[in-house]
Amino acid sequence: MTDQTITQNKIRSGFLRLQSLTVVFALTALLTPAVTAQAQIAEPDGASVLIAQQYPQQQKRRTLLDILFGNPAQPRQQEVTRPQVQQPQRRSAPVKKKPVVAKPKPAIITPPQPEAVAKNPDARKIMVIGDFIAGGLAEGLTETFSQTADLQIINRTNGSSGFVRQDYYNWSKELPAILAEQKPVVVVMMIGANDRQPLTQKSISVAADTDEWKKLYQSRVDEFLQVTAKSGVPVVWIGQPPYQSSALSQTMLSLNKIYKTATEQATYKVTTEQTRTAEDVTPQVVFADVWDGFVDDKGSFTQTGVDVNGQTVRLRGNDGINMTAAGKRKLAFYAEKPLRQLLKLSSPDAPVSSDSKSNEPMALPVHKEITRIGPVKLNDLDQSDDDILLGDTTAISKTAAVPAGNKPATKTAPHGRADDFSWPRP
């Protein structure tokens, strides 16, 4: 016999043994319940219970076949489910939430506005002219002088006017009739917000902000000032504020420069025909710059700022052009100072002088030249050979004459002073 045949025979014999063992175990499992039932029938019930209590039935050991194939004769133990005991829930005390109290916003303290007093029949008139920004200025001045019975604000502005569109409204031609009608003691002028557009001269359109445009605009400003000079009415010219549009703000800077130059040239009015000295002339036009009052710390446009009461409020509208009530009042603040100087009013509560109630035009006070001293540099200390401090008038410094073109010798600082750089230190 070959080795292969021997191996096959061994496998067959192993299978036969396994089958015989399986039959034996199956018969044993079937016969066991029957024997147990016969024993219970032979004995009375009470005895079987007593025997079962004294000799508890030993659990049969599980064999390999039980593990592999299971034992169908053995009933499965029913799973005992324990009833869940509900524990009483502990009621926790309700948590009291602290009420959220909104922090109140700091209230803007504004002094109560007193009621406007009735104006006198012979009250002097301050006439405001210009564009829509000047209209807001007129409202601010009305509030400013509301308690002065001898002063009246006349609003003769034209919201869409300017110096560019003279075909729509020409101030140089319309002003003489208005002056003759109202007879103001002073004119407040504010214009330019509508003038960032091409200017037409002799059917030729000139683009805005060009050199030629600025020259033509300057000539129209000079023409207007000549009209006011002939009438003899002083003019307080209010400059333009910045706007949200950077291009518009840049144009307003150019216009403010034109206004300031024109007013400075027309500041003095010659009172005699032959003399032109400072004693014989009086100021006729004054320019008030409002730019710094409507910018932030960086010099840029801002919608909020400090009002006349020192409170931070909104000064400009949402469009970045118009003024709020606080902004209009702040514009009037810049015009108030020259107007009070002109009308000889020292304070808001001071009455108008009795000798100046007529509607005759008045002149602005002559501005005296101020002698200014330039800044002093620390290096200027090296120019002196003495130890006397600058500005000391108690002693006369004795300085040696220095030849022209030669730098004075630097004096050695005494030991211990801040500018003593000698080394090694003592």
Residues 213-228 pLDDT 10s: 999 999 999 999 999 9
Domain boundaries 124-356, corresponding CATH code: 3.40.50.1110
Q: What is the pLDDT of residues 290-334, one digit of tens each?
A: 999 999 999 999 999 999 999 999 999 999 999 999 999 999 999
Residue pair 265/224 in contact (Cβ under 8 Å)? The answer is no
Beta-strand relationship, 312-314 and 235-238:
unpaired
Confidence (pLDDT) at 86 = 66
Residue entry with tokens 């034992």: 71
Phi, psi of 405 (to 5 degrees): 90, -10
The least confident of 91-95, 205-209, 299-303 is 91-95
The pLDDT of residue 406 is 54
- Structure tokens, 353: 């002088």
Q: Which pLDDT belongs to residue 275?
A: 42
Dist. CA 395–CA 408, nearest whole Å: 22
Spatial separation of the C-alpha atoms in residues 196 and 252, rounded to whole Å: 8
Distance set, CA 107 to CA 103, 240, 312, 317 (Å): 12, 31, 11, 21
pLDDT at 39: 47
pLDDT bucket at 421, cuts 50 / 70 / 90:
confident
Q: Supply 359's token pair.
A: 């509607």
H or E segment to which residue 30 belongs: helix 3-42
- Ranked by mean pLDDT, the top range of 221-225, 262-266, 402-406 is 221-225
CA nearest 172: which of 129, 234, 224, 226? 224
Q: Please, are residues 319 and 242 in contact by the beta-carbon 8 Å criterion?
A: no
Tokens at residue 174, please?
Answer: 């319309």
Whether 245 has a pLDDT exceeding 90, the answer reads: yes
Say which amino acid occupies 258.
I
Q: What's residue 358's pLDDT?
A: 45
CB distance 323 to 136 below 8 Å = yes
Amino acid at 403: P
Cα torsion angle, 289, 294, 297, 301, sign = negative
Q: Identify the helix (H) or strand (E) that includes residue 45.
A: helix 45-54
- The SS3 of residue 418 is coil
pLDDT at 278: 43
Phi, psi of 163 (to 5 degrees): -95, -10
